[in-house]
């Protein structure tokens, strides 16, 4: 059994189909650990994970942290306020300093696209991207893939609709890449203000109608609408957005009867998603969160050289 | 008397052939067909053999950033002049975005005195600010700047967003015979953008800057140029729509001129690759269609001049997150070779290249240009065939930031002479060293 073909986890485009399958299969085993009464194995005992969160995040930070701890790795999480960035030191300097303290993995969340690539060029350690600007969030795409595969038994041949601010979403970019790679078709829906130049070049169909995107979809992925985007003239009001793009009970009926409802969180109930849909029978939003820990455990394990079925 | 012997002298509209150029007391005293086999006159004290080389009027880089005063860790006037000399430039025009801004005579005089003190010998012809502190609110003192030696005004690095201020700047500058150089950018359209808006920015998840951010301002400035009749020069043209607008304006007789930079005819936004900050520049590297339009604009004369927009930065500003990185490319030492590649690809003639890198900047800035008997001996000797490899680490400029590092180029300045004095000599064995 082989391991990953890549040292760093920076974006979905650099993972092969085999890599993705390996990660998802490994995550299934890891999920089982989280469901035991004693949620801890000694697999990464003596290893150290350093996480940098230069952008606020609760669920992703906790998810990575729990993943490390469940594998018995020591984890240190630094947030922007606690880091030297505020003292004027550069990101590369900060990480070079930490590198000589011999951690084994660096996890980074940053508001600048490409920040994990910058680190990967300057340090010898494996770097895991926990979200960089509008660019990528590979562990999110992997947990989404895991959730869909778990519920549907497959990815290939499914139709995924992603609705929301596609232009500014790393979740959208990464999921388009990941789902397309694994054989699904992807349609994105948004007003033109929320679609980036040449989005179809990423392999997604494009529509300005939420209804059209949802027609026949197997999976509906809603993106969070940030109300501060109003200031950038991306839409005219939260009310109008909810009416034209929000996922309502009525709208869900256009999808396949067994369609899954996903959302990367945090939710704006009543804006992009109606509360009864978010909490309804088709919603797998909490499964996504649970699977996030399993996927991150799998990433730590595999990035440190673990191989499938090689765990304990 | 010094003689540059047997080179192909290219002075567009004037000379193109094998000539000897005689220089005495800083001036050209004769340009004559080589007298085959004739012994040198006793008055000749030095001979520079230029057979196989191209001898041109001194190249002028009308758009550079020398960072002094204020940012001497990025570049000083001395290091910038060294880089210019080695790049084949006899004169450079530093933009005013220093600290303090060159918005008054004192700063302008300081720049010129630092150039003299450096001893390099390259002419430094500063460009004054349009507005005080480049804030876009009040006009800088054009009269004082002109008296102190400024050759143009510009708020380069920032657009003049206020339409009325731009109108008044053109009108006021016209009275002093100063051209107005415009940095064309609509701030609200470009805001937050880190690269060209296109497929690459979509893939990389970086906020994009659309061509329209440049084009709209180019069209506004052309409208104001028509209104005022003042000399308008558009800096660093990058977008095809801008080229088209300038071409149409020139057809109407609008007194507009324009420049582009080598990176805009050599690269596209694909050069950003995986967040390579060396390729981060403002305006941003555009698409292939834009690159081609810039080449066409250069070929047909729509774009008058090639300037490097030499923008040196330290590692501190470039080895950071892409959207936080400073814009700019250190260009003085690669500009000529990159431009010569257009000649080799038959996109422009050598004569057009000399026009774009020497005569046009001189004409736009109202400087003496060309190789005239009695004129200053500002001369560049180019070896068009010399193959060399860009090694940013060995740049004379303090700015090692270039997307062309490690590129194999062909063609190089081998001698730069300012006012009869050799400021760079790379002809003899040991070529490449600076005097």
CA distance A167 to chain B (A): 8
Tens-place pLDDT, residues B231-256:
999 999 999 999 999 999 999 999 99
Q: What is the pLDDT of residue B429?
A: 52
Q: What is the mean pLDDT of residues A47-57?
A: 92
Q: Which of A11, A118, A129, A192 to mutate to test the interface with B (most CBs of B within 10 A)?
A: A118
Contacts of A88 in chain B (CB under 8 A): none
Q: What is the pLDDT of residue B135?
A: 98
Q: What is the mean pLDDT of residues B376-405?
A: 98
Contacts of B206 in chain A (CB under 8 A): 113-114, 133-135
Share of chain A above pLDDT 70, in %: 95
Catalytic residue among B309, B323, B385, B405: B309
Say yes or no for a CB contact (<8 Å) between B202 and A113.
Answer: no
At residue B59, φ and ψ (nearest 5 deg) are -75, 145
Distance of alpha carbon A283 from alpha carbon B166, whole angstroms: 57
Is the model's pLDDT at B428 over the cut of 90?
no
Say yes or no for a CB contact (<8 Å) between B202 and A198.
Answer: yes
Tens-place pLDDT, residues A188-204:
999 999 999 999 899 99
Question: Dihedral (C-alpha) A267, A271, A272, A277: value to the nearest 10 degrees?
Answer: 80
**CB count in 10 Å sphere of residue A228:** 8
Q: What is the mean pLDDT of residues A133-153?
A: 98
Is the model's pLDDT at B95 over the cut of 80?
yes
Contacts of B207 in chain A (CB under 8 A): 134
CA distance B229 to chain A (A): 37
Q: What is the pLDDT of residue A87?
A: 66
Is the model's pLDDT at A226 over the cut of 90?
no
Nearest to B358 by CA among B30, B25, B55: B55
What is the three-class DSSP state of A203? Answer: coil
Please give the ipTM for the structure prediction. 0.92
Tens-place pLDDT, residues B11-42:
999 999 999 999 999 999 999 998 755 556 77
Tens-place pLDDT, residues B259-269:
999 999 999 99
CA distance B96 to chain A (A): 27
Q: What is the pLDDT of residue A228?
A: 74
Q: What is the pLDDT of residue A57?
A: 87
Q: What is the pLDDT of residue B433?
A: 37
Distances (CA, A) of A108 to A113, A302, B248, B307: 11, 17, 50, 40
Query: What mean pLDDT value characterizes chain B?
Result: 96
Nearest by CB to residue A201, choosing from B199, B204, B206, is B199
Is the model's pLDDT at A311 over the cut of 50?
no
What is the three-class DSSP state of A48? Answer: strand
B208-212: long-range contacts at Cβ-Cβ below 8 A with a sequence spacing of 24 or more?
Answer: B208/A196, B208/A197, B209/B282, B209/B283, B209/B284, B211/B238, B211/B239, B211/B240, B211/B241, B211/B242, B211/B286, B211/B290, B212/B186, B212/B241
Q: What is the pLDDT of residue A56?
A: 84
- Max CA-CA distance within chain B? 69
Say yes or no for a CB contact (<8 Å) between A134 and B205.
Answer: yes
Between A36 and A56, whose confidence is greater?
A36
**CB count in 10 Å sphere of residue A156:** 10
Q: What is the pLDDT of residue A310?
A: 46
Q: Which letter, b or e, does each residue of A58-85 get, where b requires 16 or more Cβ atoms within 10 Å of its Cβ?
A: eebbebbbbbbbbbebebebbeeeebeb
Q: What is the pLDDT of residue A309?
A: 54
Q: Which of A8, A133, A228 to mutate to test the interface with B (most CBs of B within 10 A)?
A: A133
Nearest CA in chain B to A92: B320
Q: What is the mean pLDDT of residues A23-36?
A: 96
Q: Which of B188, B195, B202 to mutate to test the interface with A (most CBs of A within 10 A)?
A: B202
What is the three-class DSSP state of A168? Answer: coil
CA distance B270 to chain A (A): 14
Nearest by CB to residue B321, choosing from A91, A198, A199, is A91
Contacts of B208 in chain A (CB under 8 A): 196-197
Q: What is the pLDDT of residue A81?
A: 64
Nearest CA in chain A to B272: A114
Q: What is the pLDDT of residue A227?
A: 76
Task: Match 């970086």 to its residue by tokens.
Answer: B206
Q: What is the pLDDT of residue A1?
A: 53
Say yes or no for a CB contact (<8 Å) between A198 and B198.
Answer: yes
Q: What is the mean pLDDT of residues A250-255?
A: 97
Nearest to B136 by CA among B72, B217, B213: B217
Tens-place pLDDT, residues A263-308:
999 999 999 999 999 999 999 999 999 999 999 999 999 999 887 5
B309 classed as catalytic: yes
Contacts of B203 in chain A (CB under 8 A): 173, 201-202
A 136-155 residues with CB below 8 A of B? 136
Does A238 touch chain B if contact means CB atoms closer than 8 Å? no
Q: What is the mean pLDDT of residues B152-160?
A: 98
Q: What is the mean pLDDT of residues A65-69?
A: 97
Nearest by CB to residue A114, choosing from B197, B199, B322, is B322
Q: What is the pLDDT of residue A232?
A: 80
Does A133 touch chain B if contact means CB atoms closer than 8 Å? yes
Q: Are strands B152-154 and B180-182 parallel, antiparallel or unpaired?
A: parallel
Q: What is the mean pLDDT of residues B417-425?
A: 97
Nearest by CB to residue B274, choosing from A117, A133, A134, is A117
Q: What is the pLDDT of residue B254?
A: 98
Contacts of A197 in chain B (CB under 8 A): 197-199, 201-202, 208
Nearest to B333 by CA among B19, B79, B33, B55: B79
Tens-place pLDDT, residues A101-134:
999 999 999 999 999 999 999 999 999 999 999 9
Q: What is the pLDDT of residue B99?
A: 98
CA distance A200 to chain B (A): 9
Share of chain B above pLDDT 90, in %: 95
End-to-end CA distance of chain B: 19
Tens-place pLDDT, residues A294-304:
999 999 999 99
Nearest by CB to residue B205, choosing from A92, A136, A201, is A136
Nearest by CB to residue A112, choosing from B198, B316, B321, is B321
CA A13 to chain centre: 14
Tens-place pLDDT, residues A153-162:
999 999 999 9
Query: What mean pLDDT value characterizes chain A?
Result: 93
Segment among A211-215, A232-236, B252-256 with least mean pLDDT? A232-236
Q: What is the mean pLDDT of residues B404-415?
A: 98
Does B320 touch chain A if contact means CB atoms closer than 8 Å? yes
CA distance B208 to chain A (A): 9
CA distance B317 to chain A (A): 10
Tens-place pLDDT, residues B258-309:
999 999 999 999 999 999 999 999 999 999 999 999 999 999 999 999 999 9
Per-residue pLDDT band for A80 (boundaries 50, 70, 90) equals confident
Reported pTM: 0.94
Distance of alpha carbon B306 from alpha carbon B304, whole angstroms: 7
Alpha-carbon Rg for chain B in angstroms:
21
């Amino acid at each position: 059994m082989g391991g990953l073909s890549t040292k760093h986890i920076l974006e979905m485009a650099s993972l092969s189909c085999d890599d993705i399958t390996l990660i998802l299969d490994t995550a299934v085993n890891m999920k089982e650990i989280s469901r035991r009464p004693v949620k801890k194995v000694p697999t990464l005992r003596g290893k150290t994970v350093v996480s940098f969160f230069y952008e606020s995040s609760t669920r992703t930070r906790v998810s990575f942290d729990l993943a490390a701890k469940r594998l018995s790795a020591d984890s240190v999480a630094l947030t922007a306020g606690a880091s030297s960035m505020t003292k004027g030191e550069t990101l590369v300097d900060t990480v070079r300093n930490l590198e000589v303290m011999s951690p084994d993995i660096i996890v980074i969340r940053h508001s600048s696209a490409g920040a994990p690539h910058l680190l990967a060029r300057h340090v010898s350690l494996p770097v895991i991207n926990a979200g960089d600007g509008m660019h990528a969030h590979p562990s999110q795409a992997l947990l989404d893939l895991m959730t869909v595969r778990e519920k549907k038994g497959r990815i290939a041949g499914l139709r995924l609709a992603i609705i929301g601010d596609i232009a500014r979403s790393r979740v959208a970019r990464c999921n388009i890449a990941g789902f397309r790679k694994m054989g699904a078709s992807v349609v994105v829906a948004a007003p033109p203000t929320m679609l980036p130049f040449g989005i179809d070049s990423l392999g997604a169909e494009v529509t300005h109608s939420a209804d059209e995107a949802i027609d026949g979809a197997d999976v509906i992925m809603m993106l969070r609408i940030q109300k501060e985007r109003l200031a950038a003239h991306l839409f005219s009001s939260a009310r109008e957005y909810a009416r034209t793009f929000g996922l309502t009970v009525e709208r869900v009926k256009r999808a396949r009867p067994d369609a899954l409802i996903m959302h990367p969180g945090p939710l704006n109930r009543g804006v992009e998603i109606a509360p009864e849909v978010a909490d309804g029978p088709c919603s797998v939003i909490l499964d996504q969160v649970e699977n996030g820990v399993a996927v991150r455990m799998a990433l730590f394990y595999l990035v440190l050289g673990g191989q499938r079925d090689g765990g304990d | 008397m010094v003689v540059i012997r047997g080179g192909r002298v290219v002075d567009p509209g004037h000379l193109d052939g094998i000539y000897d150029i005689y220089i005495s007391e800083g001036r050209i005293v004769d340009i004559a067909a080589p007298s085959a086999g004739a012994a040198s006159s006793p008055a000749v004290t030095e001979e520079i053999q230029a057979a196989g080389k191209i001898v041109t009027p001194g190249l002028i880089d009308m758009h550079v950033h020398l960072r002094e005063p204020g940012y001497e860790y990025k570049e000083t006037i001395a290091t910038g002049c060294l880089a210019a000399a080695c790049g084949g430039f006899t004169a450079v025009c530093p933009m005013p975005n220093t600290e303090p801004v060159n918005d008054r005579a004192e700063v302008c005089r300081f720049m010129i005195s630092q150039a003299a003190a450096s001893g390099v010998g390259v002419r430094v012809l500063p460009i004054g600010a349009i507005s005080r502190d480049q804030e876009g609110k009040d006009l800088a003192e054009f009269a004082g700047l002109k008296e102190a030696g400024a050759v143009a005004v510009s708020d380069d690095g920032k657009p003049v967003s206020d339409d009325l201020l731009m109108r008044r700047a053109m009108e006021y500058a016209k009275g002093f015979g100063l051209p107005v150089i415009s940095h064309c950018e609509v701030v609200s359209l470009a805001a937050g953008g880190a690269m060209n808006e296109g497929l690459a920015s979509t893939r990389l998840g970086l906020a994009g800057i659309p061509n329209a951010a440049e084009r709209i301002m180019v069209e506004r400035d052309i409208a104001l140029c028509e209104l005022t009749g003042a000399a308008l020069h558009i800096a660093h043209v990058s977008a095809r729509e801008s080229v088209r607008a300038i071409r149409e304006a020139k057809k109407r007789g609008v007194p507009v001129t324009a420049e582009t930079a080598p990176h805009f005819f050599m690269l596209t936004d694909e050069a950003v690759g995986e967040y390579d900050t060396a390729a981060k520049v403002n305006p941003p590297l555009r698409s292939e269609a834009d690159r081609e339009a810039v080449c066409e604009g250069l070929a047909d004369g729509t774009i008058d001049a090639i300037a490097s927009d030499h923008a040196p930065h330290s590692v501190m500003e470039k080895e950071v997150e892409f959207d936080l990185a400073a814009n700019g490319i250190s260009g003085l030492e690669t500009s000529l070779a990159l431009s010569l590649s257009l000649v080799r690809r038959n996109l422009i003639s050598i004569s057009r290249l000399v026009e774009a890198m020497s005569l046009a900047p001189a004409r736009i800035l109202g400087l003496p240009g060309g190789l005239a008997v009695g004129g200053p001996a500002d001369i560049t000797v180019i070896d068009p065939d010399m193959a060399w490899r860009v090694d940013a680490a060995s740049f004379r400029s303090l700015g090692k930031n270039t997307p062309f590092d490690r590129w194999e180029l062909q063609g190089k300045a081998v001698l730069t002479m300012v006012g009869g004095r050799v400021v760079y000599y790379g002809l003899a064995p040991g070529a490449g060293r600076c005097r």
